[in-house]
Amino acid sequence: MKSNLLDVFMTILKRDLSLGLSRSSEIANPLIFFFIVVMIFPFALGPESNLLQRIMPGVIWIAVLLSATLSLDMMFRSDFEDGSLELMLLSRYPMTLLIMAKITAHWLLTGAPLILASIFLGVLLNLPVESLLYLFITMMLGTPVLSMVGSAVMALTVGLRGGGVLLALLILPLYIPVLIFSIAAIDNAILGLPITGEIYILGALLVLAITLAPFATSTSLRIRFG
């Protein structure tokens, strides 16, 4: 039974990855948006390196948050359009398992590239090694939370006209804790202060999201299409 469930998980994961890679614009658009948002600041603030090194980790995190919100539409839209979402709801397999596979695929297609792009821009902007290290750590903990929390809200707005605006209004306040503790960890690392508390909180948010997000998303989809 366990191997059967794992096969189902891998099938959904491979399907979503294949669909995502075949629609390269859906992956490229959030990345392009991310680069534009981040690169605006050096032009606006000038070449003052100390100022840029101080604020750019926060700017990069905000750009990641906005880009992740922009990418959420791809999680369920194609399934809604071709009718496979309703088949998933009627499937004999646990809906939470199918949703977790879709969330994993979404993170691999959007979260992981945003992390790599963040480190690349951090090196390009000559950020300190401490900033780059803890930027990477906080994003490894935080970006999966963005995908998981976003999936529950996206499930309520999929197929709605003007759902993108509603999605942004609903999801951005829920992202604030991840943003606060991630930036606090990076700032403390730069100042030589302990960051254990912030890292533990981000880890707890990740565990909480893994535990609750699939159930919340499943419930949201059943409310939306039930």
Query: pLDDT value at position 211?
Result: 92
With 90 as the cut, is the pLDDT of residue 55 above it? no
Looking at residue 86, its pLDDT comes to 78
Q: Quickly tell me which residue has 């609903």 as its tokens.
A: 170
Q: Which percentage of the chain shows pLDDT scores above 70?
A: 93
- Is 80 exceeded by the pLDDT of residue 46? no
Type of residue numbered 100: M
Instruction: Specify which of 34-43, 84-93, 104-113, 166-175 reaches the highest per-range mean pLDDT.
Output: 104-113
Q: What was the pLDDT predicted at 21? A: 84
Q: What is the pLDDT of residues 64-75, one digit of tens each?
A: 999 988 888 888
Does the reported pTM lie above 0.85?
A: yes
Quote the pLDDT of residue 1. Answer: 53
Task: Give the CB-side neighbour count of residue 131, counting CA atoms within 13 A.
Answer: 26
Domain containing residue 171: 2-225
pLDDT at position 226: 61
Q: Average pLDDT in the 1-16 region?
A: 81
Number of domains in the chain: 1
Average of pLDDT values for 197-215?
Answer: 93
Helices (H), the chain: 2-22, 24-45, 49-71, 77-82, 84-90, 95-106, 112-124, 129-157, 163-191, 196-225
What long-range pairs does 55-60 form, CB within 8 A, spacing at least 24?
56/122, 56/125, 56/127, 56/131, 57/122, 57/127, 57/131, 57/134, 57/135, 57/183, 57/186, 57/187, 58/183, 58/186, 58/187, 60/118, 60/121, 60/122, 60/135
Q: Are 85 and 102 in contact (CB under 8 A)?
A: no
User: CA of 190: how far to CAs of 58, 140, 183, 193, in Å?
Assistant: 12, 19, 11, 8
Q: Flag whether pLDDT at 162 surpasses 60.
A: no
Give per-residue pLDDT as tens, 101-140: 999 999 999 999 999 999 999 888 888 888 889 999 999 9
